[in-house]
Amino acid sequence: MMMQDKVVLITGAGRGIGRAMAIMMAQQGAKVVVNDLGAGVGGEETGESPAEEVVATIRAAGGEAVINGDNVASIDGAESMVQAAIDNFGRIDTVVNNAGILRDKIFHKMTPDDWNAVINVHLNGSFNTAHVAGRHFRQQESGSFVFMTSTSGLIGNYGQANYAAAKAGIAALSKSIALDMERYNVRSNCISPFAWSRMIGAIPVNTPEQQARVNKLKEMTPEKIAPMAVYLASDAAKDVTGQIFAVRNNEIFLMSQSRPLRSSHRSEGWSPETISEHAIPALKSSFYPLDRSADVFSWDPV
């Protein structure tokens, strides 16, 4: 029971990866605030309340959980969901920022509304819940954040400029929190999940290669992601912070973070001409190609 008596808020926990994490957290002894707005993949209102089924499942197994239907994109919503943890369970120990939407379009067809909607849920939503919970973590001098990033942001994908920018921003946000709140014994880490979900199912499939990739993703269930989230939220991970882990079926990867690769210098300084003639030829062998997540993770899931 690695999460015995811990109080966990999981956003977007009504379906998919969030649901799997909520159920496993409860199985490991956590008291869970199951947040889900009940929105569609693109953020549209549906009138559904998938969190009810998750809470019922947890309670039927003898666990403790409550529903929250607030919107992570609102700071008031974040206040309410953190307060739900305090009101029902007396404290908050972990926030798993999982809520998300997709509005995939090739960049030149992406509208400002497509951009803002995805940024607001993923990046601003992650800030909102972390900002509110962080005040409690600082006072109690303990706590942990688990953020969900993506290889779309860490590596790249077609038609996901909004999603990729948000997910890359989340990785930077997590690292900044890890640095700023280490003095208060607060940890922050990221998971980059590979798993079939409703959001992944909404990605357009236009070629046989894309269909083959989707078929592989269908083999990777959300339940494969949950153990890493439970571990990172637990005291067993007390020395783990500022890291990014990718979870792909039965594989776990520690992802790299940006560091210098090569350098070039001239004692007299640079001009545009000498950059062209000297610096770029010296650095070019280390340039990154325009690869995508599927190019880097090119083998079948284990």
**Is the C-alpha dihedral spanning 65, 70, 76, 78 positive or negative?**
positive
Cα–Cα distance between 195 and 187 in angstroms, integer?
Answer: 25
Termini Cα distance of the chain = 27
- Order of strands, sheet of 7-10, starting from the edge strand that comes earlier in the sequence: 64-68, 31-35, 7-10, 94-97, 143-148, 186-194, 244-248, 251-254
Tokens 């926030």, residue located: 95
* Choice among 158, 163, 184, 231 that is catalytic: 163
Tokens 């929105």, residue located: 39
Exposed / middle / buried, residue 1 (Cβ in 10 Å: 0-12, 13-18, 19+): exposed
Closest CA to 186 of 99, 92, 85, 89: 92
3-class secondary structure for 125-165?
HHHHHHHHHHHHHHHHCCEEEEEECCHHHHCCCCCEHHHHH
Task: Please give the angle made by the CA atoms of 196, 197 and 203, to the nearest 5 degrees.
Answer: 90
Could you confirm whether 163 is annotated as catalytic? yes
So which residues are the catalytic ones? 163
